[in-house]
Amino acid sequence: MQVVTLTLSGETLAVPTRMLHEILEPVPVTRVPRAGRFASGLINVRGAVIPLTDLRVALGMAQAAQDEHTRILVLDVPVAGEATTVAVIADRVLDVTEIDDAAMGDIPEVGMKWPPEFLSGIARTDAGFVILPDLERIYAASLANSTGTPQFEKDL
């Protein structure tokens, strides 16, 4: 599987390149009143209004200040059976690489730092472990709660 690797809070994550539209430098964000921390604002990408999301919230990771390495990935994520365009903050984009199926390991049920229900896999590489977030499940969870606040934000 071809992926783009990125860092969040010192951890390496991978997103399938088939979902990737483009990678942007930080752009102005329009904050949405009473929005949760997961999707707190909107950005303009070539005239399209795109929600800006932070996977650190869903994965229970520490927040980080933006710096010169911060990037925004514009992705098409399947949500409720339809491709939905979202933007994701990354502390740093690393590389486009291949992850072999043989490198994929099961998600341990014990000892995980991240919610296992939001992971689709963990790969072992020469550089260490790479987390593959289950983006479809994360975004479905953000829509599932009728109050508009995903359960993972309430748990923080």
Task: List, for residues 90-136, the tens digit of each pLDDT value.
Answer: 999 999 999 887 778 777 666 567 777 888 888 888 778 899 999 99
- The topology under which CATH files domain 2-143 is OB fold (Dihydrolipoamide Acetyltransferase, E2P) (2.40.50)
| Residue boundaries of the structural domains of the chain | 2-143
Q: What is the CA radius of gyration of the chain?
A: 15
Per-position DSSP letters for 86-123, written without gaps between them: EEEEESEEEEEEE--GGGEEPPPSSS-SS-GGGEEEEE
Average pLDDT over all residues of the chain: 86
Predicted TM-score (pTM) of the model is 0.86
User: In the prediction, which pLDDT does 146 show?
Assistant: 42
